[in-house]
Structure 1
Amino acid sequence: MAGTTRKRNSRLGRMVRALALAVALVAGTATMPGAGTRPVSGDNWKLLVRSVACVRGPDVLLGEIADPVDAIDQRTWEAVSKVKLWKASDRIGRPVTIDRDKLLGVLRYYMGDMVRNLVLPSQLTIQTGGTVVSGEELEAAVVAFLTPRARDLSDDFEFRNLRLPLYYFFPNDYDTLSVELEGDLRPGSNQIRLRGVSPDGRTVSTKAGNVFVDVWKAVPVAAKPLNRFERVSRENVTFMRMNLAYNQDLWDGTGGPWRMVRPLGRNQPFSMAHLERVPPIEKGDVVTLVYQGKRIQLTMKAEALADADMGQQVSVRNMQSNKVIVATVVDNETVVVR
């Protein structure tokens, strides 16, 4: 007998809630802009239920979890948005996820046939208190953060494969989102760190993300095939537009003088691994050999037998006597024996 009474009361409760919603809609009836005199009724409004939402409690209101799909007059929206649903969770700041089937059943219980006016997500994640940043808002914040940094690399760039959380819940109303990079932005894959920050600057939570950055730029390439030890000059360098994400550690066309460390094919980009600075003295250079004694100084021509930098010692061959002597490099053309 008690079970029969509970079932009767449950059916009566659903009927009362459905009737209350219908009355609220009638009270909010008005004319849609541009629709002549056609009234907004229970059949010509539609709401999109969000995939994430925060509610204040003690009851979940329809307007806290759903938004109008099309134009709806203010009076009707005010009536619909204030419809009470289930009791909000008493676990403040703790998100709860409801799948679509369960959500449909719960909404049908509270709204009856009016549930057909709702477009449901695959799931609803809802939290009592705090605030939430949706996936769309996260992406917008990350792109806004990255854009000026990408422009420092090139005016021609693109973000892709942006992997971010579907949403980010914060436990408190005034927590904010902070976006950071691990190091400087670079072409290719970059790690992103998202932080929830309290008003006093404390980190309340962190999440990770990733983005791939394509950066196109005109870079130096070989105008013809270049061999090892061949000098890099204007005549054998041209420029081509390339994606730096797939061409790391490229030469920017400055510095030098340079020569090739290893061969490079035509239209291939110069990486720094292809280049080395031309030493002051190269093997085979004809240099001035200076003998400096206490009372005498002699000069003659000599051939360098190896590469050498400034201040280094190098073996040279006296071109008059063919004698090999070790001398010290003092400039691009002179070696000295003391």
Structure 2
Amino acid sequence: MIRNTCIKKNLKRLYILAIAAAIAFGLYTPGWTAGDTVKSSDVSIQVRATAVVKGDDILLGEIADIQAPDFLADGIAALELAPAPKPGKMNQVDGKRIRDLIMGHDLVDPEMRVTVPKRVFVKRDSQEITDALLKQEADHYLTGILGTDTYEIKQFSVRGLSVYPAGSLSLAMARKGELDNKGRFSFQLDVMVDDVKQDRLNIKGKVALYKSVVCAAGDLKRGTLITDADVRIQQIDIFRKGGDYLTALSDVDRMALNTNVSLGTCLEKDDFKPAPVVKRGEVIKLVAAKNRLSIVTLGVCKEDGYVDQPVMVENLQSGKLVRGLVRN
């Protein structure tokens, strides 16, 4: 930023010196109309009592109304008088000091009509970053992490925010933080004005992430074999609740609760165990098959049986105990 300012100042000095040299050597004869010679008394510089400036320096053209021919007016307007206030701030400058600064420049001579009030109030133009722009950057950051999931920013804070010079303002990602399992996030943004870094902001916040999970539709007891009527899908903030929640009704198919749950409880994998397909004492079919030959008889389960798991069965015809696999 310092290097850019120095370059601008040097260019302004070269511009002013070029005008002065052109006038001194007769290469340029400014006039109100083509061919007329300008008189110093025809030049008027009237400084206003209040003015707003944009850059790091107070330029005469920003605080005064200048009447002069052709680019002589541009040269006078480019004269630097003093450092400008900080963005958004105002300084009071003594009129005599301003007059002395004006008269001390090569392009100004005593015959020019220079009017300066007793005091001049100079304010530096500025701009602020809106909450909407910062929230937009936070949304962009979170979308990159959460994708299309539904979320809501619950807490949001910015450290380092200030007032900035006028110009083309933009924000650039400086450091991407992490989103933890509690929904807390942080990242840093660089504030740029006309592509020059002005500041670095620290952004922190907390987000709610909503997902559809399986919840109890009523009070359910341990051992309950879950049916569609026992559960429902509802959205919760998984960062607030935590846990390994089930997200589809099919996740509880053929499952039994291994704990008591109350109405509205969000259900996790650990809340369930596989439900027995056949229960102890239940009469079932016994099928013995080999090649294309099969024999079917009845038996009594001696224990609860689960799909694709072995179970002990008493053959009602022979009275013998046999072990077989439970099929759906």
Q: TM-score, normalised by structure 1?
A: 0.46
Bigger radius of gyration, 1 or 2? 2
TM-score, L = length of structure 2 = 0.48
